[in-house]
């Protein structure tokens, strides 16, 4: 829900991000985006997708590529061609 009566607590959000250990992954994503920008690649309308997900222990050294947002986000940790388990 958006903050309507109080300002957004950026400092608190940042502290929680560090406590949950999400900060290094965010920096890794940012480095990948900046590397593509430095090469002059247009990222308009695309996501930077890591070959091995950062949440699964991947890094920029494992590789990254530009991918459509729907394809990148729908994979949800599955390898291409792998069947998604039904619960």
pLDDT for 11: 95
Please report, in tens digits, the pLDDT of each residue of the chain (87 residues total).
677 889 999 999 999 999 999 999 999 999 999 999 999 999 999 999 999 988 889 999 999 999 999 998 888 777 777 776 666
pLDDT for 63: 93
pLDDT for 2: 73
Q: Residue 43 gets which letter from DSSP? A: -
pLDDT for 86: 67
Domain ranges (residues) in the chain: 10-72
Rg (CA), the chain: 16
Tokens 């009566």 found at: 5
């Amino acid at each position: 829900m958006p903050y309507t009566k109080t300002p957004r607590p950026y400092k608190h959000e940042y502290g929680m991000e560090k406590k949950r250990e999400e900060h290094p992954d965010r920096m890794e994503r940012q480095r990948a985006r900046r590397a593509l920008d430095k090469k002059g690649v247009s990222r308009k309308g695309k996501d930077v997708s890591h070959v091995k997900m950062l949440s699964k222990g991947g890094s920029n050294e494992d590789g990254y590529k530009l991918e459509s947002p729907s394809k990148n986000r729908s994979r949800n940790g599955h390898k291409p061609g792998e069947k998604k388990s039904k619960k």
